[in-house]
Structure 1
């Protein structure tokens, strides 16, 4: 029998109940809110379900600041098989909008956090210190990770000072004070991974304030390919934010101190989005490029916003994007795209050939799902001719097709629904009709066995599954989307859609999550726990 929610969760549910009359969640039209980009966008599939927050700050003109590249973290110590990294979460005052200061929560005090460059088979230990005033949890998104290091949302790292007052928030989890070691075996394919906060009920505001960074994993197979590298291999973390007049982040938290009351205000329960697009923490930046091929590791780290990325102008010949990798590494063969739809937490590894443009061309990375400021992302300026010995092979990797001949099908429904213990009129975000309870296990798949998970939705829900990657088999019983190929860990599901994915959990027995990666949905109980068994 499931125990009743703890005191913090009960306070959250009471507030949710009080707000129910002010908001309708999860409409079949994609949860559009008045004033959302969705309402004005004519692009098919452009809705993302959230509401855009208007900044009060004076915003810079686009393409007036250079693209920053997150620094690569050096190990504090290495042994024959392990690299150790010391990372500290702390507040810092940084310049994001020119001339204004923004207080962030940052790994090592920067946003994005430092990039960890790792190699397959070398164990990575993240020695994490929390110098913030609130609990945190670190999740390596896409990591094939033991359960004790996966970042379960109530496995809290309490503040080094005054952390005892948050101890009761570790419901169904464990709490450490000040520090925690996260061990990542990284025995998995080369891929663009990222790490971010995963605290129950507060993931949205804590990622919004800056707790996100890249972990780039390579291996011998990838290194043997003649792909662009060095200065032509660039990670792009795309986020959207809104700012107060003084430069502070504007996020609609119920509790601006992030201490006790989870969730957002009624107007943003379907998802919070900003009117400023940041790339690697800079607003609408510009990058000078050679007339050569560039590899871009594109991550949508926004809370709720979907993007439809395109190049303007398109190259005079050929398609704009050659996709070489997905969430979980290299594709079997490259794919061509004119537009890249990308949902929160998805990654696309693409090559853009700027040699197709005349020197001096300004190429804008646009967002066809946005309007106004959110219709532009960044700009490239083709500055010079340069030698380029890179190429894109016709064959990139071997992608094992999972056999589903004897697989069981397990249904997961992501939808609006009633919140238990709150009465008949309380709406929220639920999985299979139940809100998240960190003490409940909803499924127990066996290690080594392939299952088909049917992920169904009422609205836009980017669904993420922890521990192991999956392969998309079909959408609504028909063909997969162009962006579904390869190994995935997050899938962009549209309203009234279902997708069948094949998944096999390996190696690690324990508790893991699947959840919506619209962070406002996640914070408002749209998660479920599964426990892998031997």
Structure 2
């Protein structure tokens, strides 16, 4: 399926039901409709103003694993400095990045079930930040609530901008008062008493998550346990975490992003053409444009993360591998048994854990990872060059884990939430249940450890992410789960005009958490709501 770039429609129309039907409603946003098939992404293409690099000229690198600054009997302690750095992403041009530890992606944190992780983040950036461990079962104080700011250690720039607040346009940023604010640094405590899984950490500041992540504030957190170790999955050089993002570049090599407020202090969101989401025209894997990886002819484990702001991906290997692409895990960790696919679909924030047998290719084979939701250059992601076959003792087991089924009969409540475009005062935005985000408004009060059934309704694509909970997909429309819905998840790829039902387990500590659309432009323009776990 070709990429769909959203085109403007009348400001009084939006999708209210199935694809192909447009109903008069009260808001205009850029969308694209096809009578034959659903659009691939909700967003608008932002075209770079610099010649794009030739693909497959850069060698793939894997983010370094961060060493703890100290350890004790039960806990590993880390220090991360959030800082500005410059990197040659486009050959011959330097790009300013906001980074964790000076690199994009940030350094990988590895943890193990049974050991806590404590991470101190020092904010050396010009604006506040908030860190969210995506997929972590964390205390509310450490979850990265969007107004729990870590203020800059140097407040000069931020204070200068705040002095102009009277001249700023009103946005829902006015509701940021009352957060748990830290000055210069904050220590996040992660008990991580949960199954092994591919987690990631990223900025989560209210109103400005989109531009902050776009500028580089994202990194892997790989959580391991004994159950996973017993499977003898590919490790070391044969385990490749791959963070896939799209970005656009200005003429001077800087990252191009259509912020309504370039200061990233006052007015939230993006300019009107990009209200549906920002799609870039350069594909980066681990921070490199269209890289190449040389791999031995042996099984490899690929930890795939779509960290794009709005772009959905449909990935396949060309030529296809012997035995297909074997999925072993998803957002919440291992599946109960492997699944075989010929392609993989990931919405923003989703992870898929797969094994590929590169030993099935003749040495020298060039294998391209393609994105069937992309046109032209965005239809390619990276490529692998297969080396000689080497000894390979790995055999995919029939069973991977014991994954409990979320029984709908356990549900103590059923709730419905509508994710739709709407007006916020005089601005266009995105709403849950007809309401914009308010820090003091509770959309759902739930019992810790309980299970509920949530019915989710969408107008456009909305990758819905729940903090403080994990869920299983029960149903899409009148059908069961989709091909990539199995296992415990934290993000569902909600399709345009779709109704989905999920069984949600509130399996973390009491406190206030959020759920939101992980199209980051939608999130920044108010598509977020609160869960209170008691």
Residue 302, structure 1, aligned to residue 308, structure 2: yes
Residue 318, structure 1, aligned to residue 319, structure 2: no
Aligned residues: 506
Residue 466, structure 1, aligned to residue 459, structure 2: no
Per-residue CA distance 1:374-408 (angstroms, 9 max, x = gap):
10000000121211112211100000112221422
Distance 2:328 2:9 in 1: 44
Distance 2:454 2:67 in 1: 39
Q: Give yes or no for contact 1:22–1:266 (8 Å, CA) kept in 2.
A: no
Give the Å deviation of 1:440: 1.1
Q: Give yes or no for contact 1:190–1:218 (8 Å, CA) kept in 2.
A: yes
TM-score normalized with structure 1 length = 0.91
Farther off after superposition, 337-346 or 166-175? 166-175
- Find the residue that maps to 1:442 and give its secondary structure: strand
Alignment correspondent of 2:414: 409
Q: Give yes or no for contact 1:84–1:126 (8 Å, CA) kept in 2.
A: yes
- Find the residue that maps to 1:114 and give its secondary structure: strand
Farther off after superposition, 155-164 or 82-91? 155-164
Residue 329, structure 1, aligned to residue 322, structure 2: no
From 281, 291, 310, the equivalent of 1:285 is 291
Paired residues for 1:5-404 under 5 Å: 29=19, 44-162=37-155, 165=159, 170-315=176-321, 317-319=322-324, 321-404=325-408
Q: Give yes or no for contact 1:37–1:371 (8 Å, CA) kept in 2.
A: no
Per-residue CA distance 1:460-514 (angstroms, 9 max, x = gap):
0000001121111111132110100001000001111111111121341110011
Distance 1:232 1:37 in 2: 40
Give the Å deviation of 1:418: 3.2
Alignment correspondent of 2:524: 523
Distance 1:459 1:159, change over 3 A: same
Distance 1:484 1:21, change over 3 A: closer
Alignment correspondent of 2:447: 446
Distance 2:276 2:417 in 1: 20
Distance 1:447 1:205, change over 3 A: same
Give the Å deviation of 1:38: 6.4
Per-residue CA distance 1:233-270 (angstroms, 9 max, x = gap):
11000000000122100000111121212110000000
- Find the residue that maps to 1:115 and give its secondary structure: strand
Paired residues for 1:418-429 under 5 Å: 418-419=423-424, 422=425, 426-429=427-430
Give the Å deviation of 1:168: 7.2
- Find the residue that maps to 1:444 and give its secondary structure: strand
Distance 1:365 1:149 in 2: 36
Distance 2:201 2:329 in 1: 19
Structure 1 consecutive aligned stretches of length 4 or more whose deviation exceeds 3 Å = 19-32, 36-39, 41-46, 163-170
- Find the residue that maps to 1:148 and give its secondary structure: helix
User: Where do 5+ consecutive residues of structure 1 fail to align?
Assistant: 1-18
Distance 2:312 2:524 in 1: 18
Q: Give yes or no for contact 2:9–2:31 (8 Å, CA) kept in 1.
A: no
- Find the residue that maps to 2:446 and give its secondary structure: coil
Alignment correspondent of 1:511: 512
Give the Å deviation of 1:25: 6.2
Alignment correspondent of 2:166: none
TM-score normalized with structure 2 length = 0.91
- Find the residue that maps to 1:204 and give its secondary structure: helix
Distance 1:31 1:437, change over 3 A: farther
Distance 1:21 1:368, change over 3 A: closer
Distance 1:253 1:235, change over 3 A: same
Distance 1:395 1:271, change over 3 A: same
